[in-house]
């Protein structure tokens, strides 16, 4: 099930609002969801979630098959814990040297030899030359737009269709909400205007389709993109969430002439103020919009700040089901209502 978020306005903060809805959905319902970018570079989307240490989804207790640890270091650590032998070789050597009075350090012998013969060691100079050479090579690689594939979208793009298995996809995901929500890291390459015509990204559609098949619902952040790939995502989506700002005059145009998409359209007012001119009730009455097709995310500066430092899920967890009061209660009520209506429209929940 594919749910795409998009807006004609760059200031609508589509990415931020999609991150909130996705996290709220994961906290509220037992669904497995994933968030992906509607392009190949998802820096703005990833910024809303914690980076942390990358661990594959298969290594988590998420309901998928768990893999057995095969690291020798882990086995050694377990053996030391069981036998109580935590002492390292370096500690034993140190005790031996103290008892015998033999420092036994090669560096000390080398230092005495150099002082007697007057021949300083050459290794530092050689190391310096090597480092300089590798630095120059790194500059040349950067100039040639070469980069290392560390995982995420870059890794999946390098696979053939038959290699895009559930295991391969999950190993390249970043976990956001344990067992519920995951994020696909975008490409590390710099985004260009005609990126979708780059031969390297011709397989992006098959990657998106393969990712969708592994989850109950996929949230796609199309931002305010107008390229061919974003348009194809919007045309194929089961639900298109149309983001808008509350106080713009064009708000009426969205309701009078909604875009013609194959899927269903849901209207979302971001940074919502309940005492503004275009409230939900007024819009429902003015444009005869079904109340189940219109949602809102109230303005919340604390949550926006959390999103900028990658703590959207941590901060939002403090709101959902915690009995908030005042404006925080309004934020929780409107956001949970919006998330529920979007998932219900998509047929994910009843």
The predicted-structure confidence for 259-304, as pLDDT tens digits, reads as follows 778 899 999 999 999 888 888 999 888 888 899 999 999 999 999 9
According to the model, what pLDDT value does residue 264 have? Answer: 93
Cα–Cα separations (whole angstroms), residue 156 to 27, 168, 269: 28, 8, 34
Instruction: Encode pLDDT of 5-19 as tens digits.
Output: 999 888 889 999 999
What burial class does residue 51 get, using C-beta atoms within 10 Å of its C-beta: 0-12 exposed, 13-18 middle, 19+ buried? exposed
200 has pLDDT over 90: no
94 has pLDDT over 80: no
**For range 24-52, the mean pLDDT:** 87
Phi-psi label, residue 183: left if phi above 0, alpha if psi -120 to 50, beta otherwise: beta
Spatial distance between the Cα atoms of 1 and 64, rounded to a whole number of angstroms = 19
* Averaged pLDDT score across all residues of the chain: 76
CA angle in degrees (0–180, nearest 5) for 303-304-305: 90
334 has pLDDT over 90: yes
Q: Which of 189, 198, 193, 192 is closest to 155 using CA atoms?
A: 189
Q: Helix, strand, or coil here: 158?
A: coil
Spatial distance between the Cα atoms of 172 and 151, rounded to a whole number of angstroms = 6
Instruction: Encode pLDDT of 120-168 as tens digits.
Output: 554 444 444 444 443 343 333 333 344 445 678 889 988 888 899 999 9
φ, ψ at 239 (rounded to 5°): -135, 130
Q: Which residues contact 157 (CB under 8 A, 6 or more apart)?
A: 187, 200, 201, 203, 204, 207
The DSSP bridge pattern shows strands 174-177 and 217-221 to be unpaired
Q: What does the block give as tokens for 226?
A: 């107008």
DSSP-assigned letter for residue 50: -
Residue 217, strand partner residues: 33
Cα four-point dihedral sign 143, 147, 152, 157: positive
Strand 181-183: give its sheet, edge to edge: 174-177, 181-183, 33-37, 217-221, 2-6, 239-245, 264-272, 294-298
Number of other CB atoms surrounding residue 311 within 10 Å: 16
CA angle in degrees (0–180, nearest 5) for 167-169-175: 100
Number of other CB atoms surrounding residue 249 within 10 Å: 7
Domain 2-67+148-346: give its CATH architecture: 3-Layer(aba) Sandwich (3.40)
What burial class does residue 17 get, using C-beta atoms within 10 Å of its C-beta: 0-12 exposed, 13-18 middle, 19+ buried? buried
């Amino acid at each position: 099930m594919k749910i795409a978020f998009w807006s004609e306005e760059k200031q609508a903060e589509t990415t931020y609002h999609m991150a909130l809805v996705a996290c709220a959905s994961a906290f509220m319902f037992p669904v497995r969801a994933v968030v992906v970018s509607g392009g190949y570079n998802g820096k703005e989307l990833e910024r809303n979630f914690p980076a942390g240490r990358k661990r594959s989804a298969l290594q988590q207790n998420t309901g998928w098959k768990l893999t057995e640890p095969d690291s020798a270091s882990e086995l050694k650590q377990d053996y030391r814990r069981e036998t109580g032998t935590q002492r390292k070789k370096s500690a034993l050597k140190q005790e031996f040297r103290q008892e015998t009075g033999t420092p036994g350090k090669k560096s000390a012998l080398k230092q005495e030899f150099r002082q007697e013969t007057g021949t300083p060691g050459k290794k530092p100079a050689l190391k310096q030359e090597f480092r300089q050479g590798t630095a120059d090579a790194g500059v040349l690689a950067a100039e040639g737009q070469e980069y290392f594939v560390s995982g995420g979208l870059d890794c999946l793009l390098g696979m053939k269709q038959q290699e895009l298995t559930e295991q391969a996809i999950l190993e390249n995901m970043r976990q956001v909400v344990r067992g519920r929500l995951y994020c696909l890291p975008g490409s590390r390459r710099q985004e260009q205007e005609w990126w979708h015509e780059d031969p390297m990204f011709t397989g992006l559609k098959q990657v998106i389709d393969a990712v969708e098949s592994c989850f109950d619902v996929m949230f796609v952040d199309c931002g305010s993109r107008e390229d061919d790939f974003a348009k194809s995502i919007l045309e194929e989506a089961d639900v298109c969430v149309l983001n808008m700002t509350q106080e713009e005059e064009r708000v009426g145009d969205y309701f009078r002439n909604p875009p013609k998409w194959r899927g269903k359209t849901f209207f979302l007012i971001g940074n919502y103020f309940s005492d503004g001119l275009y409230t939900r009730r007024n819009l429902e009455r003015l444009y005869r919009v079904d109340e189940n097709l219109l949602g809102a995310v109230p303005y919340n500066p604390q949550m926006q700040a959390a999103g900028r430092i990658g703590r959207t899920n941590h901060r939002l967890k403090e709101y959902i089901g915690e009995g908030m009061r005042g404006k925080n209660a309004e934020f929780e009520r409107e956001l949970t209502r919006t998330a529920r209506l979007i998932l219900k429209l998509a047929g994910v929940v009843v």
